[in-house]
């Protein structure tokens, strides 16, 4: 069985066909096809055509500007909240590399409330001695 050849180009019935490029201004500010080429147009016709294009361009630029300014106003609140967080982060005093904040204590002795341990590193001697011979566990020394 023979392969079917692939179709190239626009599908049949597509709307955006390529025109001949000749455009003119209509009364409502829209572009319409020009019947004759620009080379054959009179100077007055060309001047009117150019003026119409300039006014249409100015109108479109104003519309786009209004749209973008609306988007910018929406983003302004979002950006200001994010920027405030970034400024706070950047303005903090930089710490030395390799140093940590001292860990908050998580455990304390049952006998002496002034003896505390953060839970980092090896189990302290005081905790091992208090747990020895009893059913106490590490969680029993937790600060509530």
**pLDDT single digits (tens) 26-40:** 555 555 555 567 788
Whole-model pTM: value is 0.34
Provide the token pair at 116. 């505390």
Q: What is the mean pLDDT of residues 44-65?
A: 93
Q: What is the mean pLDDT of residues 91-120?
A: 86
Res 107: pLDDT: 95
Res 91: pLDDT: 75
Res 37: pLDDT: 77
Nearest by Cα to 31 from 13, 47, 55: 55
Res 51: pLDDT: 93
∠ Cα 19 23 24 (to 5°): 155
């Amino acid at each position: 069985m023979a392969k079917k050849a692939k179709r190239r180009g626009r599908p049949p019935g597509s709307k955006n066909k390529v025109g001949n490029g000749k455009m003119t201004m209509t009364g409502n500010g829209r572009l319409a096809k020009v019947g004759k080429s620009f080379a054959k147009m009179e100077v007055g016709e060309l001047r009117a055509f150019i003026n119409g294009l300039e006014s249409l361009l100015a109108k479109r630029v104003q519309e786009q500007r209004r749209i973008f300014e609306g988007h910018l106003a929406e983003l302004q609140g979002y950006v200001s909240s994010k920027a405030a967080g970034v400024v706070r982060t950047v303005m903090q005093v930089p710490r030395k590399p390799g140093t940590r904040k001292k860990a908050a204590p998580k455990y304390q002795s049952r006998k002496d409330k002034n003896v505390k341990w953060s839970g980092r590193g090896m189990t302290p001697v005081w905790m091992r001695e208090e747990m020895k011979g009893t059913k106490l566990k590490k969680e029993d020394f937790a600060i509530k």
